[in-house]
């Protein structure tokens, strides 16, 4: 299935913030209750601690804060989390950021400014993560995001729970039902979410539409390898692959890059499904 770069509603500047935030809150909730990113916890921990524990992680395109789904596993499975995670986005879901900060005051920091993942402020230094967001970018922009991390000599990890697979596209057709059933339990609470889910069902429609488009836009392992091959990053190492979810033919696509220890321009590591 060829990658198709259609538009997603939540990406658009004209999308009301209440709709965008309700959508990202739902997506974070789904990731958490279904443990979608459990397969990559050990990969991420290994990447961010390769030279000792960093003091800061910069989560780009944080949305409804996917880090909430893995932070306990990172803390307890690995003997503690001696770092803070700074939450950023182009359209920051500030209420969700502050809610995460309230739950984990020592682990999260809130950045309420608009942050461009392809041109991160020099003040935001730390290992970079992107969850369920890399597919939003064209190949040129995706390359710019990676190159920006390379130019600043920061590690970066990209994870996607969507794929161009018929199984996931069929699943997306049922997401409006999930929105209607799960909305009362999603936090932070928003009256606007109730209104635009039950009275005017905009949120279920956007989740469905953007979900299908997300699957069609998600980069394959081979496409990520092609993007990395065009970077000016002779001193970086890359791990690219797919972590399957149980027996299913789908899983989490990942791309991890960081400066090589000996700066000799080691070959990229390729991990196929």
What integer is the mean pLDDT of 99-115?
95
pLDDT digits (tens, 9 = 90+) for 155-182: 999 999 999 999 999 999 999 999 999 9
* Per-residue pLDDT at 264: 40
- CATH code: domain 9-270 is 3.40.50.150
Q: Rounded to whole angstroms, what are the CA distances from 184 to 45, 136, 193, 194?
A: 33, 28, 9, 8
Domain edges within the chain: 9-270
Which contiguous run of DSSP H or E holds residue 46?
Answer: helix 41-48
pLDDT band at residue 54 under the 50/70/90 scheme: low
Say how many residues make up the chain: 273
Chain centroid to CA 64: 10
pLDDT digits (tens, 9 = 90+) for 201-245: 999 999 999 999 999 999 999 999 999 999 999 999 999 999 987
Residue 90 contacts residue 111 (beta carbons within 8 Å): no
């Amino acid at each position: 299935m060829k990658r198709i770069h259609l538009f997603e509603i939540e990406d658009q500047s004209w999308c009301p913030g209440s709709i965008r935030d309700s959508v990202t809150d739902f997506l974070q909730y789904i990731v958490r209750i279904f443990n979608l990113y459990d397969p990559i916890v050990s990969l991420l921990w290994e990447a961010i601690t390769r030279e000792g524990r960093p003091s800061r992680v910069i989560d780009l395109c944080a949305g409804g804060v996917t880090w909430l789904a893995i932070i306990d596993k990172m803390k307890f499975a690995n003997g503690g989390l001696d770092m803070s995670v700074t939450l950023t986005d182009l359209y920051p879901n500030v209420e969700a950021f502050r809610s995460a900060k309230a739950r984990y005051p020592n682990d999260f920091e809130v950045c309420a400014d608009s942050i461009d993942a392809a041109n991160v402020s020099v003040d935001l230094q730390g290992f970079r993560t992107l969850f369920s967001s890399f597919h939003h970018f064209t190949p040129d922009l995706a390359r710019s995001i990676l190159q920006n991390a390379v130019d600043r000599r920061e590690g970066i990890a990209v994870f996607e729970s969507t794929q161009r697979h018929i199984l996931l596209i069929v699943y997306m057709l049922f997401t409006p039902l999930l929105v209607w059933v799960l909305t009362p339990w999603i936090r932070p609470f928003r009256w606007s979410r109730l209104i635009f889910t039950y009275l005017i069902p905009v949120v279920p429609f956007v989740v469905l539409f953007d979900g299908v488009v997300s699957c069609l836009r998600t980069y394959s392992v081979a496409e990520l390898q092609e993007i990395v091959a065009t970077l000016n990053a002779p001193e970086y190492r890359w791990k690219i692959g797919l972590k399957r979810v149980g027996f299913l033919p789908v899983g989490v696509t990942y791309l991890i890059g960081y400066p090589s220890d000996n700066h000799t321009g080691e070959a990229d590591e390729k991990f196929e499904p």
